[in-house]
Amino acid sequence: MSDVRFPENFIWGAATAAYQIEGAATEDGRGPSIWDTFSRTPGKVFQGHTGDVACDHYHRYADDVAMMADLGLATYRFSIAWPRIQPDGTGPVNPRGLDFYDRLVDSLLARGIDPFITLYHWDLPQTLEDRGGWTNRETAEHFADYAVAVHRRLGDRVRTWTTLNEPWCSAYLGYGNGVHAPGTRDAGAAFRAVHHLLLGHGLATRALRAAGAETLGITLNLADVQPVDAASTADADAVRLVDGLHNRIFLDPLTGAGYPADVLAHVSRMVTPDFIQDGDEKVIAAPIDLLGINYYAPTYVAGRAGGAGGSAYPGSEGSVEFAPASGPLTEMGWMIEPAGLTRLLERVAADYPGLPMFITENGGAFPDGEVDAEGRVADTDRVAYLDGHLRAVHEAIARGVDLRGYLVWSLLDNFEWAEGYRKRFGIVHVDYLTQRRTPKESARWYQEVISRNGL
Ligand code: PNW
C-alpha cells in the first residue's frame, strides 16, 4: 500500500517526559517534585514504583539520541524538569540542571534532530506544592520566571517551545480525583488549578515571545466526546457538559473567546470562581503558533438522571454516564478507535480555525512480552495501533486539517505514572534490570514509515 503519503514537509518524531525517563532524581542539585512525594506515598503508584532511576536517560542520553538518529526522527519532544532548574521552584537557577539540557540539545542538533521542548510535564517542585501548588496564583508567575530562565540558556538553539503538557491531567487528576500528584481530591481545587495553569501558560507565552522564542504552543489531551445514542437529546447534553469540562474550558480561553458561559455556570455550582481576575483572559489568549494534541482513545457518554459521572469530571455525577470501554482495548483498557482522531482533528480545525496542529502524543500500551532469543520484540498490536492512527491522521490532512507533524508516545518504555513500569508504551523496549534498549518491531516499522514519508 503506497497510497498513503504525507505532505512533503511533514515532521516525524517521538516524545518522552522528564520524570518518566530521566532517573537521577537527586543528582546535580535537583530538588524534589510532587511526583517524588506522590510515588513514595503508599498506595498511590503500582507497587510503589518511583522515577528514581527510570530509564536512566540522564546518564544514557547520548546513546538514546544515537538511537533516535538511527530511527530517522526529525524531531524529539522532551520535557524539562523544573526542579532541576530551580530546586525550590523560585529564585536563582541551578546551572548544573541546565547543563544537562544543554548537552542534550547539543547532541540532538549534532544528529540533525530538532529539539521540541515541553516546559512542564507534571513534575512541580515540591516547595511550590507546599504553598498550594497550582491552586495558588503565584505558581503561575513562578512558572513564567522559570520558562524565561530555561529560554535564556537554550533559546539560541531551540526553536519550538510548548508550555504545559495536558493541563487537564494536572488539574483534574492531580487536584480533582487525586489519581495523580499531588493527590488532592477537591473539585474547587481542580478548577482553581485549571485557571492558574492557563494563566501560567499565558504569562510564560508572553514572556517567551518577548524574549524572541520562535514557535510557541501548548499541548492538550483533547477528548473526542461522542454520544452513546446519536438520536438522544439527553446524550447530547452529556456530550456538551463533558466536552465543556475537557475541551472548551481550555480551547476557548486559549483562542481568545474567554471561558464558555455554560462551563462557567457549571463550575460556579461547585466553587465561586473569584480566582478569575480582570485581565486574566487576555493573558491566557496570548497568541500561539501551534496546538499540540495528544490522542489515545474516544470517550462515549450518555445523559442519565442519577448517572455515576466520572471522578475526573467534577459535577458530572447525577447526569452523566460514561460508557464502559468496548471493542478492542489497549492494556490501559482504552478503546482503540482511530476514527476518533480524525473526528477530533476536524472538529478542532472547524471550531478553532487558523491554529496549526501537531500530534504531540499518540500510541498504546500493549503486553509486548520480553525480548526473544533473536533479540526481537514482536509488538504486532502496537504496529496495528500506530498504522490505524496514522491513516486517521492522513485522512484528516486530506480533508484539509492543518496538521504539521506526528510524535509517537513513546520513544522508550517508561514510568507510566500511577501504573508504574507495568505498562509499556515504548517503540523501544527497556530492560529495567540492565537498562538495555531493544527497538521493537514497531520501531523498525516506524523507521520505514519515516523514510518513505508514508505507509
Ligand atoms: C499522557 N487519562 O497521560 C501523558 O502525557 C503521558 O505522560 C503518558 O505517559 C501518556 O499519556 C500515556 O498515559 C495521560 O487518564 C494519563 O485520561 C492519563 C490520562 C490521559 C493521559
If we measure between CA atoms, which residue out of 1, 5, 2 comes closest to residue 394?
5
| Whether residue 1 has pLDDT greater than 70 | no
> Cell numbers at residue 294, please?
495528544
Q: Is 86 annotated as a binding-site member?
A: no
- Non-local CB neighbours of 353 within 8 Å, separated by 6+ positions: none
Task: Decide if 193 contacts 171 (C-beta within 8 A).
Answer: yes
Q: Is 121 annotated as a binding-site member?
A: yes
Minimal-distance CA residue to ligand 1 atom 12: 416
- Per-residue pLDDT tens digits for 410-455: 999 999 999 999 999 999 999 999 999 999 999 999 999 999 999 9
- Per-residue pLDDT tens digits for 288-333: 999 999 999 999 999 999 999 999 999 999 999 999 999 999 999 9
- Per-residue pLDDT tens digits for 265-277: 999 999 999 999 9
| Whether residue 2 has pLDDT greater than 70 | no
Task: Decide if 315 contacts 214 (C-beta within 8 A).
Answer: no
- Residue 314: CB atoms within 10 Å: 25
Task: Decide if 119 contacts 16 (C-beta within 8 A).
Answer: no
Distance 231 CA to ligand 1 centre (A): 31
Q: Is 165 annotated as a binding-site member?
A: yes
The whole-number average pLDDT for the span 122-139 is 98
Q: Which atom of ligand 1 is nearest to the CA of 179?
A: 15
Domain ranges of the chain: 11-452
Helix, strand, coil percentages, rounded to 5, for the chain = 45, 15, 40
- Grid-cell match 508504574, residue found: 420
Burial of 30 (0-12, 13-18, 19+ CB in 10 A): buried
**361 is a catalytic site residue:** yes
pLDDT at 3: 80
| Mean pLDDT of all residues belonging to the chain | 98
Instruction: State whether the Cα torsion 59-294-198-215 is positive or negative.
Output: positive
Q: Is 416 in the pocket of ligand 1 (CB under 6 A)?
A: yes
> Cell numbers at residue 201, please?
501558560
Q: Which CATH class is domain 11-452?
A: alpha beta
Integer angstrom CA distances of residue 266 from 245, 247, 319:
9, 14, 12
Q: Is 123 in the pocket of ligand 1 (CB under 6 A)?
A: no
Q: Is 360 in the pocket of ligand 1 (CB under 6 A)?
A: no
Integer angstrom CA distances of residue 16 from 24, 64, 365, 410, 416:
16, 12, 14, 6, 11
Q: Is 172 annotated as a binding-site member?
A: no
Per DSSP bridges, beta strands 357-361 and 290-294 are parallel
- Residue 59: CB atoms within 10 Å: 15
Q: Is 361 in the pocket of ligand 1 (CB under 6 A)?
A: yes
The whole-number average pLDDT for the span 364-379 is 94
Q: Is 169 in the pocket of ligand 1 (CB under 6 A)?
A: yes
pLDDT at 369: 82
pTM for the model: 0.98
- Grid-cell match 544543554, residue found: 102
Name the H helices within 229-364: 233-243, 249-254, 261-268, 280-284, 339-351
**395 is a catalytic site residue:** no
> What region does 333 belong to: left with phi over 0, alpha with psi -120 to 50, or beta?
left
Determine the residue of 169, 177, 293, 407 to mutate for testing ligand 1's pocket, defined as the one with the most ligand atoms within 8 A of the Cβ atom: 169
Which residues make beta-bridge pairs with 75? Answer: 13, 114
- Grid-cell match 477537591, residue found: 186
Q: Is 35 annotated as a binding-site member?
A: no
Alpha-carbon distance 350 to 164, whole Å?
23
Helix (H, G, I), strand (E, B) or coil at 183: coil
pLDDT at 403: 98
- Per-residue pLDDT tens digits for 161-188: 999 999 999 999 999 999 999 999 999 9
Number of residues written out for the chain:
455
Minimal-distance CA residue to ligand 1 atom 7: 17
Determine the residue of 163, 417, 419 to mutate for testing ligand 1's pocket, defined as the one with the most ligand atoms within 8 A of the Cβ atom: 417
CA atoms within 13 A on the CB side of 369: 12
Report the interhelical angle of 57-71 vs 95-110 (nearest 10°): 20
- Residue 396: CB atoms within 10 Å: 23
